[in-house]
Amino acid sequence: MDIQILAVPYDSGNHRARMGAGPEALLRAGLEDALRHSGHTVRTKIAELPADAWIAEIGTGFELMRMLSTGVGEAVQSGRFPIVLAGNCNTAIGTLSGLGGATGVAWFDAHADFNTPDTTASGFLDGTAVATITGRCWRSLVTTIPEFHVVPDHAVCLIGVRDIDPLEDELLEKSAVAVVRAEAVRNDIRRALAGIAEHVDQIYVHIDLDVLDAAVARANTYAVGGGLTLDDMHYALTEIAAQLPISGVTLSAYDPAADDDGAAARAAIELLSVAAGLADRA
Ligand SMILES: [Mn+2]
């Protein structure tokens, strides 16, 4: 399979800071070679803002989404499978726009990313990603992203979620987004995906690396216990691919500074190799 890697080395608009250092750290750790070793061809593009760009968390975040929508769209047009390496999960808004079509979302994350500007306690734009995708916030800014369209709740599944803010939880409870709790992955994922498959014809796989249990790998400073093992991830990805073709994948929120023993980088490379292999078989 021809793979286009799109690296977005930013965290909250800050170049190579914190989780913004993750994309290039994964490239240095051998991601491209691992994919080539599995028989894929790989090209890599690194998103860069102009050196003198004014950084505003929200504005810069959306600028990166616009770039990604275009970059992912070009990859799809050229028949290449897009793999996005991102500092922040909100890049998914751009990636989904570029993928186009009736695309469902399998969102692996310890967090729900379902805050809106009115519910967030942290002010972290990243935590509004799924709320934005489903049309709950940033309704003017999303219109600046080429090909953006709202994804209906019933086409979205949160997997491995376990760290949810109180107001965010209220929103999620009222929504029709499917939630597969970390401890229930093997019981619940098939049914959740079957529900999504009724409405879409392909699926985007979003992996916030902190979906992994912190004891398995410490992906970032937000990592918490009670998460998925690598075996759980294999199981879940295989179940997803059995029901819908995977049209693109993101590995997000890897902070090399939190990854003392390199386990998170190894896990990220393994998961992307598995996802690419499953996408290739479709
Ligand atoms: Mn996230």
Distance 110 CA to ligand 1 centre (A): 7
Distance 208 CA to ligand 1 centre (A): 5
Q: Residue 148's pLDDT is what?
A: 98
In this prediction, residues 17-34 reach a mean pLDDT of: 98
Distance 222 CA to ligand 1 centre (A): 9
Range of the domain at 8: 2-280
Question: Using CA of residue 33, residue 36, residue 41, residue 47, what is the dihedral sign?
Answer: negative
Q: How far is Cα 197 from Cα 207, in angstroms, rounded to an integer?
A: 19
Asked if pLDDT for residue 281 goes beyond 90, the answer is no
Note the pLDDT tens digit of each residue in 107-148: 999 999 999 999 999 999 999 999 999 999 999 999 999 999
Taking only Cα atoms into account, the Rg of the chain, rounded to an integer number of angstroms, comes to: 17
Asked if pLDDT for residue 32 goes beyond 80, the answer is yes
**Phi, psi dihedral angles at 170 (to 5 degrees):** -60, -45
Distance 89 CA to ligand 1 centre (A): 5
Note the pLDDT tens digit of each residue in 35-70: 999 999 999 999 999 989 899 989 999 999 999 999
Q: Residue 51's pLDDT is what?
A: 87
Q: Is the pTM of this model over 0.95?
A: yes
Q: Residue 232's pLDDT is what?
A: 98
Note the pLDDT tens digit of each residue in 86-96: 999 999 999 99
Total domains, the chain: 1
Query: In the chain, what's the furthest Cα-to-Cα distance?
Result: 50
Identify the residue whose tokens are 């799924």: 130
Asked if pLDDT for residue 76 goes beyond 80, the answer is yes
Q: Residue 160's pLDDT is what?
A: 98
Give the distance from CA 211 to its chain's centroid: 11
DSSP element (H, E) containing 174: helix 166-174
Which of 240, 250, 21 lies closest to 113 in space, CA to CA?
250
Note the pLDDT tens digit of each residue in 190-247: 999 999 999 999 999 999 999 999 999 999 999 999 999 999 999 999 999 999 999 9
Distance 251 CA to ligand 1 centre (A): 10
Distance 277 CA to ligand 1 centre (A): 23
Distance 126 CA to ligand 1 centre (A): 7
What CATH code is carried by the domain that includes residue 245?
3.40.800.10
Q: Residue 282's pLDDT is what?
A: 66
Percent of the chain exceeding pLDDT 90 equals: 98
Distance 90 CA to ligand 1 centre (A): 8
Q: How far is Cα 150 from Cα 160, in angstroms, rounded to an integer?
A: 23
